[in-house]
Structure 1
Amino acid sequence: MTARYNGLADWYDARFVVGAPRHLPSLPELLGPGSGPCLDLGCGTGRNFDTIRDSGRSVVGVDRSADQLRLARTRSDGPLIEADAAVLPFADGSFDTVIAMWISTDLDDFTGALGEAVRVLRTGGRLVCYGVHPSFNGPHVEWNEDGSRLVHPTYRTAGWHEPKPWWGDDGIRRQVGMRHLPLPELLNAFLQPELTVEHIEEPGDMPVPHALALKARRN
């Protein structure tokens, strides 16, 4: 996995983290109360560390970008490790909880990363995946000023997309690119014998949802 956010951490943090709400919509409820170590897979600059700690868990962060981890260390005194999400440096069953936040459009192999997340979960452990809604958000979607979305025919094109005119000039897509994971590919990644999906949600109150969240448990 490429460290696409190296050199962009300060820009990313200023745009998406500093001054943002303390918790993402529905994330505290999806996590619920818990204990033990929680792996924040693709932790970035530590946007979700407060939510993890408030739930009763301790933070362990992993990201491919050393630049992102540089800022994450200002928000956590727990272990923060530079690693590839598809090749995690942890033993089987190391974590009570794993969260994967907004990573589906950044990874070359989301299914492989999810398999690794399941591997490092203990039996009965919880997995929360939260990110881009494949149907209403992504490189194929144009956001209109009235809140509606225009979905271009490239929805069925999985993988990395070439920049498009509707991406804008200063957003995350233009800065680091974006991989599209069509809805069936996303959902099929959760169809693993070791995993039971317990809840699916479109967080937030926007009329057209831009995020999709799934909560699952390790069998």
Structure 2
Amino acid sequence: MAASTARYNGLADWYDERFVQDPNSHQPGLLELLGSGSGPCLDIGCGTGRNFYTIRESGREVVGVDFSSDQLRLARTRTDGPLIEADAANLPFADASFDTAIAMWTSTDLDDFATALLEAARILKPGGILVSYGVHPCFNGPHVVYNEDDNTRLVHPTYRQAGWHEPAPWWADEGIRRRIGMRHIPLADYLNAFLRTGLALEHFEEPEGIPIPHALAVRARKI
């Protein structure tokens, strides 16, 4: 299933209220993964600017791209830096343009996550850092049911079903899955997509916050 229009258009206000309660906070472990730096940092799939504060706190300057003009409408309230409506799989930047790039919570939305990673690697300068942080392929996604009462997860056999998932009976009625839909990348495919970039994989992390990790983070460097 390919998106002819941005899936988040018309949902930016709902998304921001649900997921960006405090724009002046860091997602667990993100600032440490980035480390200190300088110069422009490309936020790929920047959404409403949830991570602009972290980019600035790391010493860098915000440059954002997103496919949704509606998301960018709110993002513009959080930065004076350049924000561009663009496809992550076809970034409008020359080779070796950035020292740093981040891709946050994009793997379940993009039609071609592997190509987006190749694009991220292309725009990095030698020595540049990519931090990708998002849905844990094993413990999060369209195949998983959350039980918030006891912090357990039920994993359905659809784990091996890569690609776009149609709504399933176990999806929550008001969650992001019902509103947006969801793409799944099994763990092996996810890791192989990073290997194909040619980047040196420096660090993997399952950020803390809940007993069963719902996120997986990767830091890689262009050599």
TM-score, length basis structure 1: 0.97
- Tell me the alpha carbon deviations over residues 9-56 of structure 1, each in whole angstroms, 9 at most, x when there is no partner: 000001111336710000000000000110000000000000000000
Between 1:132-141 and 1:17-26, the stretch displaced more is 17-26
For residues 15 and 98 of structure 1, do their structure 2 counterparts lie closer, same or farther at Cα, with a shift above 3 Å needed?
A: same
Q: Note if 1:203 corresponds to 2:203.
A: no
Aligned to 2:50: 47
C-alpha distance in structure 1 between counterparts of 2:115 and 2:165, whole Å: 20
User: Residues 118 and 197 of structure 2 are in contact (CA less than 8 Å); yes or no, is this contact kept in structure 1?
Assistant: no
Correspondence list, 1:91-106, <5 A: 91-106=94-109
Tell whether 2:55 aligns with 1:56: no
- Identity across the alignment (%): 72
The change in CA–CA distance for 1:202 and 1:33 in structure 2 (over 3 A counts) is same
Q: Which amino acid aligns with 1:15?
A: R
Residues 136-180 of structure 1, C-alpha deviations (whole Å, 9 max, x = no match): 000000011311100000000000111112211111111100000
The amino acid that maps onto 2:72 is: L
Distance 1:138 1:193 in 2: 24
Report the CA distance between 1:193 and its aligned residue: 6.0
1:77 aligns with 2:80: yes
Flag structure 2 segments of 5+ consecutive residues without an equivalent: none
- CA offsets, 1:154-213, max 9 Å, x none? 000000111112211111111100000110111001113631000000001322110000
- Equivalent residue for 1:171, pick from 157, 162, 175: 175
Which TM-score applies when normalising by structure 2? 0.96
Q: 2:29 corresponds to which residue?
A: 26
Contact 2:117/2:197, CA 8 A, preserved across alignment: no
RMSD in angstroms over aligned alpha carbons?
A: 1.1
Amino acid at match of 2:16: D
Task: Work out the CA distance in 2 between the residues paired with 1:199 and 1:125.
Answer: 14
| Number of residues of Structure 1 aligned to a counterpart in Structure 2 | 219
Q: Aligned match of 2:142 in 139, 145, 157?
A: 139
Per the alignment, in what secondary structure is the counterpart of residue 78 of structure 1? coil
